């Protein structure tokens, strides 16, 4: 994996974390981005060094999801099984799906397979294999809708 791929992978994981914080705490977006730029991206926290993330890519995902949340949630909700709603998904899963759906919708410069694979990897950081498979299937469906 080259340096750009690593920095984008780190940006995706950080974006999911930032979106989670945004939903949980309601931190103003500008403050949240500043906090991540200054204290999280590429930082060492509790003896763990985080990979340097591509800041502009991180910013685009976080701000893009925030601006287009209703549209993104509609795309995701359309792919959920009958009886399931966005609210029924747990919070980290919502953020993974939102970030992935945003990239599929707005980042035509990133290949479909790359987006899906990357967010399946992000899902593995939080969940077991079954949930990662769910991310794969749902984002594949969203890709068919928007690409």
Q: What is the DSSP string of 89-101?
A: S-HHHHHHHHHHH
Kindly report, residue by residue over 59-96, the tens digit of the pLDDT: 999 999 999 999 999 999 999 999 999 999 999 999 99
Q: Is 137:120 a contact under the CB 8 Å cutoff? A: no
What's the CA angle centered on 33, arms 28 and 37, to 5 degrees?
Answer: 150
What's the predicted TM-score (pTM) here?
0.94
Q: Computed over its alpha carbons, how large is the radius of gyration of the chain? A: 14
Kindly report, residue by residue over 97-138, the tens digit of the pLDDT: 999 999 999 999 999 999 999 999 999 999 989 999 999 999
Kindly report, residue by residue over 3-23, the tens digit of the pLDDT: 889 999 999 999 999 999 999
Going by C-alpha positions, the residue among 49, 65, 48 that lies closest to residue 12 is 65
């Amino acid at each position: 994996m080259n340096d750009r791929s690593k920095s984008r992978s780190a940006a995706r994981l950080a974006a999911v974390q930032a979106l989670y914080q945004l939903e949980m705490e309601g931190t103003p977006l500008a403050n949240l981005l500043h906090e991540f730029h200054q204290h999280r991206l590429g930082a060492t926290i509790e003896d763990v060094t985080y990979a340097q993330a591509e800041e502009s890519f991180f910013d685009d995902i976080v701000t893009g999801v925030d601006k287009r949340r209703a549209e993104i949630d509609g795309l995701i909700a359309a792919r959920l099984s009958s009886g399931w709603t966005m609210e029924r998904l747990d919070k980290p899963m919502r953020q993974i799906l939102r970030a992935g759906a945003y990239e599929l919708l707005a980042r035509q410069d990133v290949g479909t397979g790359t987006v899906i694979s990357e967010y399946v990897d992000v899902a593995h950081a939080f969940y077991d294999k079954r949930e990662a498979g769910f991310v794969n299937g749902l984002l594949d469906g969203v890709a068919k809708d928007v690409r």
